Amino acid sequence: MGLVPLKILGFSSTAIGIFVALGAYLFQLSGGAGFATASGEVSAEAGEQVFWSKGKCSTCHSIGDEGSAVRCPNFGVKPPQFNEPVGLRAAKRKPGLSAVEYLVESVYDPGAFVVPGFPTGVMTPIHQPPIGLTDEEIRSVLLFLIAKSGLDADEVVTQQIASAQRRFAGRAPAVAANQGGASLRLPEGDAEEGLRVFQTMRCFQCHKVQGVALDVPELSPEQLEASVGPELTGIGAVQTQHYLLESILNPNAVILPDPSPDQKYSEEGASKMPSFGASMTFQEAIDLVAFLGSLKEAPAAGGGLLQPTAESRPAQGAAP
């Protein structure tokens, strides 16, 4: 708005209109909207959809026996680690935070409290790309988890979630997974160039990627045997650019636990992945991030992100 002298403008209908519009905008920003909004209905039913599809939660989390992900916290009852559903244990996670406040914090700022036994930095901030849920979708998915825990997911709880979300309104995106501090927005990379870097840097020697044609020499049985990294198929659908960049430049920032019994991923607390910070140009790293970011498809048959190897895979329930 320009500097219109208020005396002249007075309380004209235009000015009132502007203030009303601004108020509505700020109200939206503060997460004040309860039910029906532009992005759809807020409800546990809407949240169920978000959980299994757009929100990608089921890539990493199961609920009791529903779903096939086994490497991140189960949201249902899964002894010995999880003896009560997430809505109940949420109340005990952080002194001073209610269950709702904890659940909200754990999706916007996952590093604020890390579930014991799980790595820091792997839970992705779901309001940022690539998942990029709206505040309403987040309200819905949390209502779904609360309802799944056998608790009321009514209007009162919806308002409690909305007010806990205000703390995170307008929070700048692109905070690096593990640095808890400022970081820059990354320039656009070239995914095709990134594929070339993936091949010349021999990332494929440790990481399987399904659905991408690599022009690389066939790996010998010894090389396959030495292959130690997690499969990267589908990683672009869930992890932020900063997570991907950090994985390349500083593999020790987040060390994934190896789901297989031989614990190949790390040795004495250090990742077996070499750091590429010294051998790579910034452009190559950016292109590589674009390539990894393009890996959005979940694998058709087995394997994939965060899945255990076939031998260690426990019995699974059917996904709905």
Q: CA torsion 133→137→141→142, rounded to 10°?
A: 100
Total residues contacting ligand HEC by CB under 6 A comes to: 53
Structure tokens at 271: 């990742």
Contact status: 114 vs ligand HEC (CB under 6 A): yes
Binders of ligand HEC among residues 50 to 89 (CB under 6 A) are 55-57, 59-61, 72-73, 86, 89
HSE-CB for 47 with a 13 A CA cutoff: 19
CB burial of residue 188 (10 Å; 0-12, 13-18, 19+): exposed
Residues 241-270 that bind ligand HEC (CB under 6 A): 244, 247-248, 251, 254-256, 265-266
- Which token pair is 198? 């993936």
Asked if residue 186 binds ligand HEC (CB under 6 A), the reply is no
Provide, rounded to whole angstroms, the least separation between the CB of residue 253 and ligand HEC. 8
Q: Under the criterion CB under 6 A, does residue 228 sit at the interface with ligand HEC?
A: yes
What are phi and psi for residue 249, nearest 5 degrees? -80, -30
* Interface with ligand HEC (CB under 6 A), residue from 175, 206, 286, 290: 206
Please count the CA atoms within 13 angstroms of the CA of 278 that sit on its side-chain side: 2
Give the interface segment with ligand HEC, choosing from 6-14, 33-41, 159-167, 271-279 (CB under 6 A).
Answer: 271-279
Pairwise CA distance, residues 278 & 107, whole Å: 33
Q: How far apart are CA 269 and CA 274, in angstroms?
A: 14
Q: Does 288 bind ligand HEC (CB under 6 A)?
A: yes
Q: Contact residues for ligand HEC (CB under 6 A)?
A: 55-57, 59-61, 72-73, 86, 89, 93, 103, 106-107, 110, 114-115, 118, 122-124, 126, 141, 198, 201-203, 205-207, 228-230, 232, 235, 238, 244, 247-248, 251, 254-256, 265-266, 271-274, 276, 288, 292, 305
